[in-house]
């Protein structure tokens, strides 16, 4: 662990909290939006704890997770579309609270929060299984194909976890309208997966054979 890595991690974490808070509470026009606080709690508390664990146990993994600068043009487009989805969804949810639009019942919110935490646990397990994971599409030195555990079920378990995470977010916020916006995520991630697999087939030894072994990309028996 280095002070530079710690400073980078804590800075990005705090900026994330502030940004999400602004996108939710500013459109809502109030801090009295319980769904917003529930989301911030389930999103950032586990993230903070996971960051501490990675900082001490695997700082290289933490460093790679903090690097979000895509170099491929097509992936830059995917990142922008994802950003637009998040901004639009958060703002719509906040506006829905301000103007009294239809709000999902609290049992749905609590169930979505539980699913979100389950997805976080899956995400942690994926990071444990594959220490080569980064936020950008790249092949690291001595990287090998992982084909065990969750990677023996689908080729992109990280995206499967994020699918559950992201589709839970608008439900936690209690916004059916935001949920409709977040339904664009499967299409966005499908675009990223196709581009990523084309890259890995060229750059990562054994990936073509892995594709033949594990048939499904994201959801078992579906796709």
* 82 phi and psi angles, rounded to 5 deg: -65, -45
Radius of gyration of the chain (CA): 18
Residue range 112-141, pLDDT digits in tens: 999 999 999 998 888 888 766 655 555 555
Question: In 3D, which of 115, 124, 114, 101 has the Cα closest to residue 177?
Answer: 101
In this predicted structure, the answer to whether residue 104 has a pLDDT above a threshold of 90 is yes
Q: Please give the C-alpha separations between residue 145 and each of 46, 50, 53, in angstroms, as whole numbers.
A: 28, 24, 24
> What are the residues whose beta carbons fall under 8 Å from the beta carbon of 169, sequence distance 6 or more?
39, 43, 89, 116, 178, 182
All domains of the chain in start order, with CATH: 3-213 (1.20.120.1630)
For 188, the token pair is 């966005």
pLDDT tens string 29-52: 999 999 999 999 999 998 888 888
**3-class DSSP assignment, residue 144:** coil
**137-169 tens-digit pLDDT:** 555 556 778 888 889 899 999 999 999 999 999
Which residues 6+ apart lie within 8 Å of 73 measured at CB?
none
Q: Can you read off the two tokens belonging to residue 217?
A: 């990309």
Is this model's pTM higher than 0.85 or not? yes
């Amino acid at each position: 662990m280095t002070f530079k890595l710690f400073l980078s991690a804590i800075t990005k974490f705090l900026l994330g909290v502030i940004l999400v808070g602004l996108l939710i509470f500013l459109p809502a026009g109030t801090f009295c939006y319980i769904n917003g606080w529930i989301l911030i709690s389930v999103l950032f508390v586990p993230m903070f704890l996971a960051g501490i664990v990675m900082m001490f146990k695997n700082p290289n993994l933490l460093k790679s997770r903090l690097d979000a600068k895509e170099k491929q043009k097509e992936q830059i487009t995917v990142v922008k579309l994802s950003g637009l989805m998040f901004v639009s969804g958060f703002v719509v949810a906040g506006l829905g609270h301000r103007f009294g639009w239809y709000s999902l019942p609290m049992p749905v919110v609590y169930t979505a929060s539980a699913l979100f935490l389950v997805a976080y646990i899956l995400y942690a397990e994926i990071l444990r299984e594959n220490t080569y994971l980064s936020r950008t599409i790249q092949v690291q030195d001595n990287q090998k194909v992982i084909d065990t555990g969750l990677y023996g079920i689908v080729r992109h378990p990280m995206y499967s976890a994020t699918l559950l995470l992201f589709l839970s977010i608008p439900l936690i916020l209690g916004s059916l309208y935001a949920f409709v916006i977040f339904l664009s995520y499967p299409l966005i991630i499908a675009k990223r997966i196709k581009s990523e697999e084309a890259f890995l087939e060229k750059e990562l030894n054994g990936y073509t054979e892995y594709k033949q072994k594990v048939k499904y990309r994201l959801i078992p028996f579906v796709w």
